[in-house]
Structure 1
Amino acid sequence: MGTWMRSAVRKKKQFYIERLMQFGLAADRERLEEWTMAELRREYERFHPAQTIEGGRRHGQTSPRTGQAHH
């Protein structure tokens, strides 16, 4: 994996960790650091579904660019 990709993954992982801590779901940052990106994302989506395609505001809406529904 290239440097840019590693950096992007690390930033996204930190985003999920920060949000989970803000939600009060975890007090131990070190424990969250051990989780995979998929585990962090899944936990984040459980408690913040409004930002996900499956459970949130984008579901069923049309694209402003194409007018096509998101699926």
Structure 2
Amino acid sequence: MDQDRYGARPRWQRLLLGLPPALVLVAVGGYWTLLSWGVIGDTTSETFSVIGPIVAGFGVALGWVVLQRRG
């Protein structure tokens, strides 16, 4: 993106738009992972054991991008 032409997005706006979805992805991915392992509930799930960590990883990556400083 051409920052001279379009301007840079303020930090508070990036945090407001990016941090809540990142936290939701981490929470849902963690829940699905614990659910698949049988920690929550009594059944295990092969599907959630694959998808849960991936979703949580996307949440961590999004949170990292939102929280890192731009130089």
TM-score by length of 1: 0.36
Larger relative contact order (CA 8 Å, sep ≥ 6): 2
Choose 1 or 2 for highest CA Rg: 2
Q: Quick check: which one's helix share is greater?
A: 2
